Amino acid sequence: MFRFLFWLFGAVLFPSLLSDVRNFMNENPNNEAFPILWWSLPLLAVAIVFGIWLAGFIFPTLTRDFAAGMNIGCMLGIIFAFLIPDEKFLYVFGSILTVPIAWFAAMGANRRLMLTEMKYYGWPHS
């Protein structure tokens, strides 16, 4: 159950951030202080990768599921970025930059879990 919730939270993280930006732009068309700028999306993804790396020491399975969900959520974020009314292509570009970062997080978390399993259960086919 927790694994599914962590996966779901990872999957909705970036689309919900982009949805908040879209709602803010629709409600405040003249305000230039957006809650999240397009260039901060990749920086936020790097910060989350660092958090996944730290949390992976304690919860390797949950962080792997969160990273897999974040990978899917970043790909969905590209679609959500097309719904932003202003600076649409900058947000699409920022969302595209988050995809390889999220993929790196998912591969790293998966590798960490495989190494943890090998530590406790031995090498496969041995």
Q: Is the pLDDT of residue 53 over 70?
A: yes
Of all residues in the chain, the percent with pLDDT exceeding 70 is 90
| 113/7 Cα distance (integer angstroms) | 15
- Smallest CA-to-CA distance from 77 within 5, 120, 18 is with 18
- Quick: pLDDT tens for 15-28: 888 888 888 877 87
- Going by pLDDT thresholds of 50, 70 and 90, the confidence category of residue 114 is confident
Closest CA to 73 of 1, 17, 2: 17
- Are 99 and 75 a contacting pair, CB within 8 Å? yes
